[in-house]
A and B are shown apart, each in its own frame.
Chain A
Amino acid sequence: MRLTLRRRAATAHDLPVPIVLLVYAILLAGALIMILPFLWMASTACKPPVELNKVPVTFLPENPVCGENLGLLYDTSPHFNRYLLNSAIVTIGRTLGQLVTCSLAAYGFARFKFPGRGLIFALCLALLMVPFQAILIPEFMLIRKLGWLNTFRALIVPGTFSAFALFLLRQAFLQIPVEIEEAAIIDGANPLRVLWYVTLPLSAPALAAFAVITVQAAWNDFLYPLVVSNSPDTRVVTIGIALLQGERRTPYNLLMMGSFLATVPMLVLFTALQRYFIAGIAMGGVKR
């Protein structure tokens, strides 16, 4: 009795067919709006100049010239590959840095008692409340005082500390039964070994969520690099695209080609991790 009721409540098989069709129609229309800009980006990136200003607008390029446009992009912005590489360096640096500092700290807060623990954790969480724009100017002044303007240090080092990742990982660690770790401790492992061999592997969904959030935030960061880095050597790809956009004569096909190159890595990463990612968000974001 109970079982049948649960099945009735939990599945949609009893939804009338017209309703199911309506739901699909709504969802597909919405999904099309979400996807359309990506298709437009890819299609425009392969259009020759004459097709850009065609009336009525064509959705697909009639004579696709993807390779030529890629070459033209590098003519317009010779260092574009360098910007992509810089973004990758900054992203990897920040993500690995946060993985180390934040998983250590999260483990410390989750498993060890020490004086001031509650207060320090509360102060770290308070930083989550501060919007980055509110401290943009002092942050810039601090970086300038350190002599770090236009360096990778400026782009990476402050980004290796995070209150958000601390919170996310601590939540994940707290959900692992202490007994599992205690077995390792009895075997003589020190806390670092326990963290590395037991706790982190058991936190895979949270780590996937952490990876997607941190990587995409670092790769897509714009305002901070705009302020602390203005030399081609350390310029990241978002700034590179902004420069193309600002240069009035950059035609849209090249702009879309640049955007495409900057977008694809994130789409690939997310698609690869999305199953874990959604589980991780559910765990860290809502359950308290």
Chain B
Amino acid sequence: MNPESRLPALAARALSWLGPTPLSRRKALWGLALIAPNTLGLFFFFGIPVLMAFSTSVQEWNAIKPPHFVGLDNFERLISDDKFAQALTNTLKLIGLTVPLEVLLALGVAVLLNLPLRGRNLLRTAYFLPVVTSTVAASVVWTSILQPRYGIVSRLLEPVGLGETKWLVEPGLVLIPIAAVAIWQRLGFDMIIFLAGLQSIPGVLYEAAVIDGAGRWERFRHVTLPMLSPTTFLVMVLAIINAFQIFDQVYIMTLRTVPGGVGGSATTLTYYLYRRAFTHSEFGYASAIALVLFALILAVTAFQLTVQRYWVYYESEEG
């Protein structure tokens, strides 16, 4: 006799929802129990804030009045805010300064470090060390390296008369050192992903190319690059997302002179939203900036996903 027949209809329905047999139900309960802690934690600490981000962005917060609903006022204010436009421009400039160079350098280093060279593990480690270093410590060190007159960079540039260049003060220059530190810290990460991609290219393809009489460059051009394109795509998507979020470098490298750069010349979107929220207590307005940042990242990623079919080669299209 089946003990479940005595249960009320609702409980029986719930049970059959879990699975058709007692064993499958037990497995389903185990599965739910196993995923519960992480899923609930993610929902509480990250899911709820995502929802709150929307509600906060349509409220006005300041130190004086309690928060109240203001519709899309915060977003309207964004349009006429010159400082926001400047932060957006700076962020886009930083993406332009970092992403292409970072991806090309990482690809080049990965290809060379994929050759069977003596000591390549040591070299790989050297290229990866900046990745595990904190951005804060790295930015402090680079601030010191870039000091006018007393830093290494000025020593190296002395012969060409640039020894006194104030890299972190000149509004036209400050994004360059920030981009340089970002590239320095990302290169090893991109390189590892490229190495993994290179190692997953089947050797048979190179054998076939050799039989067809392809030289080294042709093998790189017609085997390596197309086979690596899904990896290149992944690296580019991650690099752009990362460049959108540059904050630590700006915060640390401009802290000794003018925070955020002279006239806001180093202020990125993230830095601007941080200042609006935590210096001016404008949580509503800052949340609107955060949502724009998020929307931009989503839009750029979606755009990349759409255009990838024109240049990314997937070996198995059956999936």
Contacts and interface: CB of A to CB of B under 8 A. Distances in A.
Nearest to A243: B255
A17 interface: no
Contacts, number: 309
Nearest to B41: A161
A186 to B, nearest CB: 14
Interface in A110-141: 111-115, 117, 120, 123-124, 127, 129-141
Secondary structure dominating the interface of A: helix
A127 B150 contact: no
Interface stretch (A71-79, A175-183, A258-266): A258-266
B247 to A, nearest CB: 6
Contact of A255 (B140, B210, B291, B301): B140
Q: Give the interface centre of B128, B147, B158 by most chain A CB atoms within 10 Å.
A: B128
Given A20-B117, A115-B17, 15 more contacts: A15-B115, A34-B129, A34-B187, A37-B145, A38-B141, A105-B37, A105-B39, A124-B42, A127-B46, A137-B273, A162-B42, A259-B140, A286-B193, A286-B231, A286-B234
Secondary structure dominating the interface of B: helix
Interface residues of A, number: 108
Contact of A131 (B49, B105, B294): B294
A270 B132 contact: yes
Contact of A248 (B48, B196, B256): B256
Contact of B37 (A26, A101, A129): A101
Contacts of B125: 271, 274
Interface string B24-52: 10011111111101110110011111101
A183 B113 CA distance: 41
The size bracket of the interface on B is 35 or more
B115 to A, nearest CB: 5
Interface string B97-124: 0000000010001001101110000011
A56 interface: yes
A271 B133 CA distance: 12
14 contacts: A6-B203, A6-B207, A9-B210, A27-B123, A36-B152, A105-B35, A108-B35, A112-B34, A131-B244, A162-B42, A163-B46, A242-B255, A263-B134, A282-B199
| 5 closest Cβ pairs, A-B complex | A112-B31, A108-B34, A161-B41, A220-B134, A138-B52
A87 B115 CA distance: 39
B135 to A, nearest CB: 6
Interface in A26-74: 26-28, 30-31, 33-38, 40-41, 44, 52-57, 59
Contact of B203 (A10, A12, A238): A10
